[in-house]
Structure 1
């Protein structure tokens, strides 16, 4: 179950880096739904939550503006996979692969969940960032706020679902990946035809 939760959270991080981190931190701080390993308590620190909230606000605004959203996606190519690695590593509770102490991460095999989470987030990020310029061109930028809102909603929904109903996550993650992949594939041939 922890792997499903972690996979769902890192997939959500590929769409929006800050939503799953903020949800994990808030739930760890204010509820009993999430109990982060000891070394990850900084995620629920008031300062960390405040910084994540500010970064989320900036991300939400920047991602709604055509052209700015594409530049934002370039910057997020590092941030989203890093976030995915963090939420995967902190969300996994199994002692065999959990990162219990971030200070010891690279001295042991504890780096493995970071890489897995970063890889999952990177896949979703690349699908998202590959579709966005095509959507902006095809709609003269009108699609940017609508698609961005849908992506933020998907990230929020997937984060909550990953924590509340992790069994359903695999279906949603695969479905979301297929929708993004098909969307990018359908948009690319249209663009090439228009250029000819």
Structure 2
């Protein structure tokens, strides 16, 4: 159960920012003695991986702050964020991977399940983000882009750290975020309905 909570927190964070949870995982494996990635995912803490992930994180953070560029970035990230979510969930949940010499064995073994769950969670979060950002940009003439992006980056970092340290708190934060979004969407629909009448 803890593995699922850890993986869910990391995959949700990946849906907001593809590289943040991967960097947190790699650094945690390197710097925190209590956290050790499974052998199949240990590459995340290698020097090369950390430098590449760090550089890609900076690029995503900057691109996500600029109106219109953030929408293009979201389109590009449609593949990257779910893949990152799969990796983060798989690594966070301690899933073992294998060399795929026999494709049928991949599905018989079940080692793909954590990765697929992570892909699904990250994709759902990414789609919500990608739909919200253009609307926020249009409503505020782009002024909201850096603010919303900073909140998303902070949420991704906080979720990533909490998923590793206090996974139940990360899941509670996710639930609170979903409830908040639902309430805001309902209020917005009511306001539009009032304006029409």
TM above 0.5, one fold?
yes
Whole-Å Cα distance in 1 between the matches of residues 41 and 194 of structure 2?
50
Runs of 5+ unmatched residues, structure 1: none
Partner of 2:136: 135
Partner of 1:106: 106
Residues 1:164 and 2:165 aligned together: yes
Count of aligned residue pairs for this structure pair: 190
**Compared CA separation, residues 138 and 190, structure 1 to 2 (3 A):** farther
Q: After TM superposition, give the deviation of residue 193 of structure 1 in Å.
A: 9.8
Deviations 1:143-163 (A, max 9, x none): 000000000000000111111
Deviations 1:54-82 (A, max 9, x none): 00000000000000000100111111111
Runs ≥4 in structure 1, deviation > 6 angstroms?
188-194
Query: 1:23-102 maps to which residues of 2 (within 5 A)?
Result: 23-93=24-94, 98=95, 100-102=96-98
Q: After TM superposition, give the deviation of residue 123 of structure 1 in Å.
A: 1.1
Q: After TM superposition, give the deviation of residue 174 of structure 1 in Å.
A: 1.1
**Compared CA separation, residues 16 and 137, structure 1 to 2 (3 A):** same
Conserved? CA contact 1:134–1:191, under 8 Å? no
Whole-Å Cα distance in 2 between the matches of residues 7 and 181 of structure 1?
19
RMSD: 2.2
Deviations 1:125-177 (A, max 9, x none): 11111110000000000000000000000000011111111121221111112
Conserved? CA contact 1:62–1:72, under 8 Å? yes
Conserved? CA contact 2:14–2:84, under 8 Å? yes
Whole-Å Cα distance in 2 between the matches of residues 78 and 86 of structure 1?
13
Q: After TM superposition, give the deviation of residue 109 of structure 1 in Å.
A: 1.1
